Amino acid sequence: MTTPLELATRPDDNGNTVLTAVGEIDMSNVAGFRDALSQAGTSGAGFIVDLTGVDYLDSAGLTALLRYAARIRIIATTMLAPVLSVSGLDSITTVVSAPAQ
């Protein structure tokens, strides 16, 4: 069974590409996440990955993010912070906490 995942790409106010993910990222849907990362990074420039709507991120999702670590800035909730820390992503890319709502 495929885990629900919604992906959208948009420019932010500064002209940066923002890839927003909502739902769960796991091995059942990581191919779509990888494709979205690839499309967001086609220009070769840095881009933002907004994971504030992600409820679950497994090793397949982390592996997809690692490929782009040198070019991405991740926005995440405090729930994902331990996963990003244990994986080492927070030490090789910029990870910022989502603004309080």
pLDDT in tens, 28-80: 999 999 999 999 988 888 899 999 999 999 999 999 999 999 999 999 999 99
| Of residues 9, 50, 2, 49, the one with CA closest to residue 30 | 2
| Of residues 37, 32, 31, the one with CA closest to residue 65 | 37
**Cα–Cα distance measured from residue 26 to residue 4, given in angstroms and rounded to the nearest whole number:** 10
Domains parsed from the chain with CATH numbers: 5-97 (3.30.750.24)
pTM: 0.92
Cβ atoms of 84 and 60 within 8 Å: the answer is no
Model pLDDT, residue 6: 97
Q: How big is the CA angle at 77 (ends 30 and 62), to the nearest 5 degrees?
A: 30
